[in-house]
């Protein structure tokens, strides 16, 4: 196929993918913000709010292992478009229901369950198809732009939702989500998900869902570097919930800071994420991505330890505010330096026929780790001084990366990266 044509299509796929992600994520975030406030406003019950959160997490956790089998077995473009279409129909159905009957909690919970599953299929189908949509030299740029789109949506959506809520009905929020989802479907349908996929001989081997899942787990086990990266990510995600759970408690309850200051400090995380994503988009591809991620995890551990300082030492209000503004900004920036290099390496390391299963395995364990970490550290913060939890978990983070990403493993990562560079010689990067 003509190289100029491939280059043009790669650039088109890159920006179409990012635009679709931005629009779909913004629509989903605006709806999620509004429906959360709506539930609290109508019921005044934190339990009703919590049930909706469970409806957003539990279905995708249960279905995720089977989704990997489906994503690897059937055309990913069909899965991504079908999943986004299901989202569109579900939101449209809820809109119609709200206009004819009126919104009810069972209807919201039902749609939340459907959206949880459809968004998981769409997200993993796209993630598994990234090396088919664009060439390997643009993987880092695509991952960075994807994160920029998510960051912009996370920053703008609450602001838009906050401005509109109370001024317009829930039907308007549903209409916004419906239009955004429909645009995403149209954009997704214009892309070729297998343009850069290596042609492989298809075998007629029939495999059960359980057999396919075992195959995916077996593939991970037989890839030592891949297994270590995944285990390291899961451990760090689990430990980092100590900060996610503890920071609101420390800032608002222990240090008695204002809700306005809390909102600004929380926003600093998204700003750090956005700025580093922009930098990575404009910068050159990392030569040693796993080394960058290792350093990022070590810095995360250090930041968790440093975050305990205002709890230990008495500081004036403005000093605490400024301190955590900087810490949260650095957390957001370092988060990108961990996630994007590892994602780039995973995209290049995982064989295409296993990507769906491997990415859903990662998501399944990650989703399981979140509630476990939340419950554990939520319990500990009631009985253990907050600064000790941050100090210990920060040290555990550093210790984990030093053990799992020891010099011998880093040497294997360098060797693998050298193989990638050799295979990419002669490919033009834009």
- List the Cα angle 290/296/300 in 5-degree steps: 145
3-state secondary structure of 135: coil
Q: Give the span between the Cα atoms of 239 and 392, in whole angstroms.
A: 10
Residue 425 CB contacts under 8 Å (≥ 6 apart), including other chains: none
Select the more confidently predicted residue: 346 or 419: 346
Question: How many separate helices (H) and strands (E) can be counted in the chain?
Answer: 15, 0
Any idea what DSSP says for residue 251?
A: I
Which overall architecture, per CATH, does domain 3-190 show? Up-down Bundle (1.20)
- Which fold would CATH assign to domain 211-423? Growth Hormone; Chain: A; (1.20.1250)
pLDDT for residue 430 is more than 50:
no
Most confident of 6-15, 131-140, 209-218, 348-357: 6-15
Q: What is the pLDDT of residue 207?
A: 63
3-state secondary structure of 2: coil
Q: What is the mean pLDDT of residues 31-53?
A: 78
Most confident of 101-105, 277-281, 321-325, 346-350: 321-325
What does the mean pLDDT of the chain come to? Answer: 83
pLDDT for residue 229 is more than 50:
yes
Q: What is the mean pLDDT of residues 340-357?
A: 78
Q: Give the span between the Cα atoms of 220 and 68, in whole angstroms.
A: 14
Select the more confidently predicted residue: 410 or 186: 186
Q: In this structure, are residues 92 and 178 in contact, taking their beta carbons and an 8 Å threshold?
A: yes
Select the more confidently predicted residue: 124 or 220: 124
pLDDT for residue 1 is more than 60:
no
Mean pLDDT is lowest, of 39-48, 72-81, 118-127, for: 39-48
Q: What is the mean pLDDT of residues 373-398?
A: 88
Q: At what angle do helices 355-380 and 224-248 cross, to 10 degrees?
A: 30
Any idea what DSSP says for residue 192?
A: -
Q: What is the pLDDT of residue 97?
A: 93
Question: What are the sequence ranges of the domains in the chain?
Answer: 3-190, 211-423
Is the pTM value of this prediction over 0.95? Answer: no
Share of the chain above pLDDT 90, in %: 27
422 pLDDT tier (thresholds 50, 70, 90): low
265-299 confidence digits (pLDDT tens): 877 888 888 888 888 877 777 778 888 888 999 99
Q: What is the mean pLDDT of residues 238-252?
A: 83
118 pLDDT tier (thresholds 50, 70, 90): very high
Q: What residues are paired with 168 via a beta bridge?
A: 165
Q: What is the mean pLDDT of residues 233-251?
A: 83
């Amino acid at each position: 196929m003509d190289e100029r044509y491939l280059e043009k299509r790669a650039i088109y796929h890159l920006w179409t993918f990012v635009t679709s992600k931005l629009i779909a994520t913004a629509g989903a975030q605006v709806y999620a913000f509004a429906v959360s406030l709506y539930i609290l406003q109508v019921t005044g019950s934190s339990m009703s709010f919590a049930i909706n959160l469970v409806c957003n997490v539990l279905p995708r956790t249960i279905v995720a292992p089977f989704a990997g089998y489906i994503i690897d077995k059937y055309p990913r473009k069909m899965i991504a478009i079908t999943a986004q279409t299901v989202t569109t129909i579900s939101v449209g159905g809820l809109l119609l229901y709200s206009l004819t009957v009126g919104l009810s909690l069972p209807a919201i919970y039902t749609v939340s369950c459907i959206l949880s599953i459809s968004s998981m299929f769409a997200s993993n189908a796209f993630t598994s198809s990234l090396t088919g949509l664009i060439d390997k030299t643009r993987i880092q740029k695509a991952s960075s732009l994807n994160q920029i789109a998510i960051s912009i949506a996370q920053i703008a959506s609450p602001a838009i939702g906050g401005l509109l809520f109370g001024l317009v009905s829930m039907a308007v929020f549903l209409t916004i989500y419906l239009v955004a989802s429909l645009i995403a479907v149209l954009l997704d349908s214009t892309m070729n998900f297998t343009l850069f996929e290596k042609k492989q001989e298809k075998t007629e081997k029939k495999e059960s869902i359980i057999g396919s899942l075992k195959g995916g787990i077996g593939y991970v086990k037989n890839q030592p570097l891949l297994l270590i990266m995944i285990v390291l990510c899961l451990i760090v995600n689990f430990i980092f919930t100590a900060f996610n759970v503890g920071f609101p408690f420390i800032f608002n309850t222990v240090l008695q800071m204002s809700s306005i200051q809390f909102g600004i400090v929380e926003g600093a995380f998204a700003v750090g994420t956005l700025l580093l994503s922009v930098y990575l988009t404009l910068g050159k591809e990392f030569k040693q991505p796993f080394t960058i991620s290792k350093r990022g995890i070590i810095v995360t551990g250090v930041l968790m330890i440093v975050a305990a300082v205002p709890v230990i030492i008495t500081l004036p209000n403005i000093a605490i505010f400024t301190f955590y503004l900087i810490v949260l900004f650095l957390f957001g920036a370092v988060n990108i330096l961990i996630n994007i290099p590892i994602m780039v390496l995973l995209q290049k390391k995982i064989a295409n026929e296993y990507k769906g299963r491997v990415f859903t395995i990662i998501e399944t364990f990650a989703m399981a780790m979140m509630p476990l970490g939340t419950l554990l550290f939520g319990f500990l913060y009631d009985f253990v001084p907050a600064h000790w939890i941050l100090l210990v978990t920060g040290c555990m983070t550093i210790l984990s990366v030093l053990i799992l990403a020891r010099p011998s493993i880093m040497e294997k990562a360098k060797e693998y990266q050298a193989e990638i560079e050799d295979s990419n010689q002669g490919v033009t990067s834009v």
